[in-house]
Structure 1
Amino acid sequence: MVVIGGGIIGLSCADELLRAGHDVVVCDPAPASGATHAAAGMLAPAGEAWFGEGARLRLGLDSLERWPGFAAGLEQRSGIDVDLRSTGNLLIGMDRDDLAEVFRCCALLEGSGVQAESLDRDELWRREPGLSSRAAGGAWLPRDRHVDPRRVASALLAVLGDRVVPHRATPVAGGVALEDGRVLPADVVVLATGARGLASVRPVRGEVIRVRTRDAPSHMVRARVHGQPVYVVPRSSGEVVVGATEEEHPGHAAPTVGGVARLLDAARQLLPGLDTAELVDVVARDRPGTPDNGPLLGVVHSPGPETRIVAGGHYRGVVLLAPVTAAVVRALVEGSPPPDIADPFRPDRFERTTACS
């Protein structure tokens, strides 16, 4: 079988299938260089929760619980520490309007049975002394985690080895065609092509900044700073990841002056210690978005004898949803029932919605 796409989703699916005893190859001209390379690695379904996305929250919570076992097994097999950290998530509102949005999120979480503890200014500063004294308040989400996606990708590439083929591939009847003209026969083709190449998936641009500082926060922080969303994620290496821009426009994914300026301004207001941080890296990549912000997980039509499975459209959950996506793909390959929580994310759901309207 062949997996097209060597981001964290495609690599995780291939690893799961290989460990289950299947013969698998991954095709990608530049593995782990897309959204995986830019991702902050927030395993934060609670922090990402929003109204009307209950199914996505449940899928994320399921995958979150799979992450410790997934990371431990990967570390053991690869020898690479993926920097999985369980320090929770601080949601911050800089002013009253920002804080109102935080509390709306908390009310939603409480209705879904997810723990969210409201914090006043003093409680916030006790947890994270580097926060600005102007922060209005916030909340604590203890179950959220974060991980370093670049290390995860390195570990997956290490365990998959020469099963990762650095070629662009296109699905054809009976397998995939490589850009050099060769055809690889396959009984199963998994489409994990990221932001391009899948029906109902569109690119959503995101910019990410990496800095190095001695004043790094000890927690993952998500905030609204006078309406501007921003997140700050510390790494064990001393780096800090700053991000949150979302823009929809065509063309090559490149950082913009305006996007970077907004991120830096919001991050510095939130954590004044970042003012003296050393700028390390600025990147932009396209997230794979769908009309309802949920992934596409399931079997799709194939013109040939092979089974085609889509594993794409993960949007902001590219890293978070890797373990549960791998489990769904394995179940589909082996003819077992996928987890029930994956049912709302069948690839044909948008076609069915159009037909019923």
Structure 2
Amino acid sequence: MRRRLPPLTTLRPFEATARLGSFTQAARELSLTQGAVSQQVRNLEDFLGVRLFERHARRLDLSEAGRQFYASARRALDDLERSTARIVARGARETVTLTTMPTLATVWLMPRLSSFTSLHPDIDLRLMTSIEPADLHAGGVDVAIRVGKLPGRSYRRDRAHIDLVMTERWDGIVADPLFPDALVPVASQALLAAGPPIATAADVLQYPLIHTVSRQRAWQDWFQAHGLAFHPRADAPEFGHFFISMQAALEGMGIALVPELIYHYARQQSTNLTAAWLPAVRSAGEYYVLTHESQDTSPAVQAVRQWLGEQAGATRAQHGLDDSV
């Protein structure tokens, strides 16, 4: 059956113009003249019989039809780009790019990478760290580990907020659960031995509290879960990542609030770190492995996805991590 498709030469100029909002910028990106880009867009509009842009004196706006067609064109070009990269690399050692949060990479993922290499010597697993939303459509990242809320899933009001955004584009995303997220206050044994006893959650307020930038509301939510009000001090120490906050707690600067999973692995490195109060407070979100559905045909990506699931299962069993926390 003959396909009724628009001229394929018009798709890249249209997609670039829609994404950048400018014929001029699209022409610069594609190394074409502005007139050539504008003409290709007009050719596409003539083929479709609709206006894809509302043209104003100083700007371009996508029409309703343009917005719908842009979403389809972008998905198609993204898929072609990924397929092209896989075919070009076929026969060579395959590379999978994995992005995860810095602290999780340090305390959980890095110590396990040698086992993946032993199982899959033909796959080069490249690790990147970031807390920014993962972009699994652009082609630069194959697998992402992020923590946050799953779209459409409801969470109890008493659970701690997760301010991080896992991804800004959920179309085509496959999310595999790794671990629940629960927060636990940790401190050095020496600090707690020298300070007032902690018999209730309220007693934690007698100590300096260490904050982590990526979870601004963590302490507020933790105290709220225990029925307590909390007003942070302006001079409270604050650090960029949980790993640094835990180091500050180990050095006796105060009590840090960190994910329970990370605490368990930090305890293996230093028995001086201890939980100041238990049980942990469950968060409104979980850790997930994110991939794009187009990667279902990539054996290398699926090998990474399966290995991460197996490692997470072993971790949940070892530390009793489950949704009942």
Give the TM-score of the pair, scaled to structure 1: 0.20
Higher strand proportion: 1
**Rg larger in structure:** 2
- Relative contact order: is structure 1 or structure 2 higher (C-alpha 8 Å, sep ≥ 6)? 1
Higher helix proportion: 2
